[in-house]
Structure 1
Amino acid sequence: MRVALVGVGKMGEAVLSGLAAAGGHDLVVVNRRAERDAELVERYGVTAAPLAEAVEGSDVVVVAVKPKDIADMLDELSPALSDGAVVVSLAAGITLQAMQQHLPHGAAAVRVMPNTPSLVGQGMSAASPGEHVDDEQLARVVEVLRGCGKVLVVPEQQQDAVTAVSGSGPAYIFAVAEAMIEAGVQLGLPRETASELASQTILGAGTMLADSGIHPSILRENVTSPGGTTAQALRVLDQRAVRAAFAEAMQACHDRSVEMGRG
Structure 2
Amino acid sequence: MSPKLLVVGGGRMGSALVGGLLHMGWATPDELAVCEPDARARSRLSERHPGLTVTSQPTMAESAVLAVKPDVAEAALRAAASVGIHRVLSIVAGMSTARLEAAMAPGDVVIRAMPNSPAVIGAGMAAMSGGSTATAADLDWAEGVLSAVGTVVRLPERHLDAVTGLSGSGPAYVYLVAEALVDAGIAAGLSHDVSRQLVVGTLLGSSRMLAETGAEPAELRAEVTSPGGTTSAGLRSLEFKAVRSAFIEAVAAATERSRQLGR
Q: Tell me, what secondary structure is at the counterpart of 1:51? A: coil
State the 1:50 CA deviation.
4.7
1:65 counterpart (52, 55, 68): 68
**Segment of structure 1 superposing worse, 93-102 or 12-21:** 12-21
State the 1:11 CA deviation.
2.4
TM-score normalized by the length of structure 2: 0.93
State the 1:24 CA deviation.
2.8
1:42 aligns with 2:42: no
Matched with 2:8 is 6
Q: Tell me, what secondary structure is at the counterpart of 2:10? A: coil
Is the Cα contact below 8 Å between 2:128 and 2:153 reproduced in 1?
A: yes
Is the Cα contact below 8 Å between 2:11 and 2:41 reproduced in 1?
A: no
Matched with 1:16 is 18
Partners of 2:67 and 2:26 lie apart in 1 by 21
Is the Cα contact below 8 Å between 2:81 and 2:104 reproduced in 1?
A: yes
Identity of aligned residues (%): 38
Matched with 2:124 is 123
Matched with 1:30 is 35
Partners of 2:84 and 2:201 lie apart in 1 by 45
TM-score normalized by the length of structure 1: 0.93
Matched with 1:112 is 113
Matched with 2:184 is 183
State the 1:119 CA deviation.
0.7
Matched with 1:142 is 143
State the 1:234 CA deviation.
0.2
For structure 2, the 5+ residue unaligned runs are: none
Compared with structure 1, are the counterparts of its residues 171 and 81 closer, same or farther at alpha carbon in structure 2 (3 Å cutoff)? same
Cα deviation 1:158-177 (Å, max 9, x = unaligned) = 01110111000000000000
Matched with 1:211 is 212
**Segment of structure 1 superposing worse, 28-37 or 112-121:** 28-37
Partners of 1:240 and 1:52 lie apart in 2 by 51
Is the Cα contact below 8 Å between 2:111 and 2:128 reproduced in 1?
A: yes
Is the Cα contact below 8 Å between 2:37 and 2:56 reproduced in 1?
A: no
C-alpha root-mean-square deviation of aligned residues, in Å?
1.4
State the 1:23 CA deviation.
2.5
Is the Cα contact below 8 Å between 1:17 and 1:120 reproduced in 2?
A: no
Q: Tell me, what secondary structure is at the counterpart of 2:246? A: helix
Q: Tell me, what secondary structure is at the counterpart of 2:262? A: helix
How many residues are matched? 257
Partners of 2:45 and 2:234 lie apart in 1 by 45
For structure 1, the 5+ residue unaligned runs are: none
Partners of 2:26 and 2:101 lie apart in 1 by 29
Q: Any residues of structure 2 matched to 1:232-243 within 5 Å, and which?
A: 232-243=233-244
Q: Tell me, what secondary structure is at the counterpart of 2:68? A: coil
State the 1:68 CA deviation.
0.6
